[in-house]
Amino acid sequence: MTNTPIKLYLEPWGEEFEMPLQSEYVLVGDGPENGSGFTVDYSEQSIVVSGWTGSTVQVYSNGEEIGDVRWRPPVPDFDS
């Protein structure tokens, strides 16, 4: 358990959010149903969440959207 805030990284958009202790963040993904869903990697200092091909992601903290989904284009198909 850490006593310092954790960083949330949202990929592939390169956004970074500092998550204060005892906070709750909700991520909502929207994209093709045949996608693989979120990929989540974490350590004591950070959480990295990646969207799937064709998806967009909204991030909420305390019921308020942070960042802006309008500036996050759908995830490209990196395998093409």
pLDDT in tens, 20-35: 888 889 999 999 987 7
Question: Is 57 inside a domain boundary?
Answer: yes
Question: Is 59 inside a domain boundary?
Answer: yes
Number of structural domains in the chain: 1
What SS3 state is found at 69?
helix
CB 55 within 8 A of CB 30: yes
Residue tagged 């906070």 (tokens): 23
Question: Is 36 inside a domain boundary?
Answer: yes
Six token digits for residue 51: 């969207």
Question: Is 77 inside a domain boundary?
Answer: no
**DSSP type of residue 34:** T
pLDDT in tens, 30-80: 999 877 789 999 999 999 999 999 999 999 998 899 987 788 899 998 776
Containing domain of residue 11, as a range?
A: 6-71
pTM: 0.86
Question: Is 21 inside a domain boundary?
Answer: yes
